[in-house]
Amino acid sequence: GDSVTQMEGPVTLSEEAFLTINCTYTATGYPSLFWYVQYPGEGLQLLLKATKADDKGSNKGFEATYRKETTSFHLEKGSVQVSDSAVYFCALLHRGNQFYFGTGTSLTVIP
Amino acid sequence: DTEVTQTPKHLVMGMTNKKSLKCEQHMGHRAMYWYKQKAKKPPELMFVYSYEKLSINESVPSRFSPECPNSSLLNLHLHALQPEDSALYLCASSQAGEGANYGYTFGSGTRLTVV
């Protein structure tokens, strides 16, 4: 069945460091892929998405490229800020049915 | 309006109480969802409504009763809950069918504590 495997956390980085959070997926066909962010005490916010192979999603300095050959959708940001501290969820959606979420990666950015 | 609004934001209820969670959206989305999220875990799907009809029930106990009175509103009625039901309850909406592949919009959730 469909599934998402996400890099284990927690991740702690210094401000302005480079961020990578790995995400790989298993699915038949061509799912849509997403990164959601959850700040403490809040719901999920869509960070970026890609609906087909080789698409690059980007938002607020974050990027992820849909790589069908490696079944991956890794999240990157060149220079993180303290305000980026949150939990990040990779997810896939297939045939509009339901999301398959990764386990979430907690990021803490220290000044 | 590009938001999903959930009320209340926080709820404390006893095990014998009856309460309801409310979710509202005005984006014209015809699919709406209830998710349950425990601390440090990903959200888990509970119910899916498509065109105001229940299409998925993920074997949720009957003490949780969903209702979709119209295309903009989704309720979750709670009765005789257990302390282990304490969690963040998230509502989401999307276009129905294949349109959902463009993503869901989530509300900010209701944090429920059962005492």
Higher local confidence (pLDDT), B100 or A88: A88
B90 closest CB neighbour out of A34, A43, A87? A43
Work out the pLDDT band at A59, boundaries 50, 70, 90: very high
Q: Which pLDDT belongs to residue A1?
A: 81
Q: Is the pLDDT of residue A95 over 90?
A: no
A44 closest CB neighbour out of B48, B90, B101? B90
Work out the pLDDT band at A28, boundaries 50, 70, 90: confident
Higher local confidence (pLDDT), A41 or B59: B59
Residue pair B109/B11 in contact (Cβ under 8 Å)? The answer is no
Mean pLDDT of B32-49: 93
Cross-strand partners of B114: B13
| Whole-number Å distance between alpha carbons of A39 and B42 | 13
Tell me which of A8, A42, A98, A106 to substitute to probe the interface with B (most B C-beta atoms closer than 10 Å): A98
Cross-strand partners of B12: B113
Does the CB of B10 have a partner CB in chain A at under 8 Å? Answer: no
Mean pLDDT of B16-32: 95
Q: Which pLDDT belongs to residue A96?
A: 59
Q: Is the pLDDT of residue B66 over 90?
A: yes
| Closest residue of chain B to A39, computed from CA coordinates | B108
What is the share, in percent, of chain A residues with pLDDT greater than 90?
A: 77
Other Cβ atoms within 10 Å of A19 Cβ, number: 19
Q: Is the pLDDT of residue A10 over 90?
A: yes
Q: What is the pLDDT of residues B70-115, one digit of tens each?
A: 999 999 999 999 999 999 999 999 988 777 777 889 999 999 999 9
Work out the pLDDT band at B40, boundaries 50, 70, 90: confident
| Closest residue of chain A to B50, computed from CA coordinates | A97
Higher local confidence (pLDDT), B88 or A99: B88
Q: Strand, coil or helix: what is A11?
A: strand
A96 closest CB neighbour out of B88, B90, B100? B100
| Whole-number Å distance between alpha carbons of A67 and A55 | 8
Mean pLDDT of A28-47: 90
Q: Which pLDDT belongs to residue A2?
A: 85
DSSP A48-96: EEE-STT-EEEETTEEEE-BTTTTB--EEESS--GGG-EEEEEEEE-TT
Burial class (CB in 10 A: 0-12, 13-18, 19+), A94: buried
Residue B64 per-residue DSSP state: E
Burial class (CB in 10 A: 0-12, 13-18, 19+), B40: exposed
Mean pLDDT of chain B: 93
| Whole-number Å distance between alpha carbons of A91 and B104 | 11
- Residues with Cβ within 8 Å of A107's Cβ and at least 6 positions away in sequence, in order, are A9, A10, A11, A12, A13, A19, A21, A80, A84, A85, A86, A87, A88
